């Protein structure tokens, strides 16, 4: 095997291993996915610390999900009293400080 091939295999192996470790860290530190029949695809939104329905076939597509309720916009989510309490909680603060979920999409729509 020539030197260039070995170097490329090493780089690709490192990148793949790093990606897997990063994915596992985020998955373990996030709350469990919502168990709701109205949405089959969830996206973590780090700015709100909630999940967003990413199921294009759902009537709740791009809605924020918190406390077993859907919110059509970030503004409506943030006006919820239960969400306000969550946002002040230690759980939310620790996620915000550690940057958990910062590599995921979300937060730019709905509000």
pLDDT higher than threshold 70 for residue 20: no
CA distance 8 to 81: 53
What is the pLDDT averaged over residues 90-110? Answer: 57
For 22-33, letters b (16+ CB in 10 Å) and e give eeeebeeebeee
Confidence band, pLDDT 50/70/90 cuts, at residue 9: low
CA distance 22 to 28: 10
pLDDT over 90 percentage in the chain: 47
Output phi, psi for 100, to 5 deg. Answer: -60, 130
User: What pLDDT was estimated at residue 59?
Assistant: 96
The domain ranges of the chain are 31-98
């Amino acid at each position: 095997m020539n030197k260039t091939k070995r170097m490329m295999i090493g780089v690709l192996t490192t990148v793949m291993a790093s990606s897997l470790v990063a994915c596992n860290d985020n998955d373990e530190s996030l709350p469990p996915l919502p168990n709701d029949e109205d949405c089959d695809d969830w996206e973590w939104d780090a700015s709100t610390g909630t999940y967003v329905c990413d199921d294009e076939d759902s009537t709740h597509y791009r809605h924020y999900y918190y406390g077993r309720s859907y919110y059509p916009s970030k503004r409506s989510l943030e006006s919820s009293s239960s969400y306000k309490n969550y946002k002040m909680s230690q759980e939310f603060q620790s996620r915000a400080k550690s940057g958990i979920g910062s590599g995921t999409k979300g937060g730019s729509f709905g509000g």
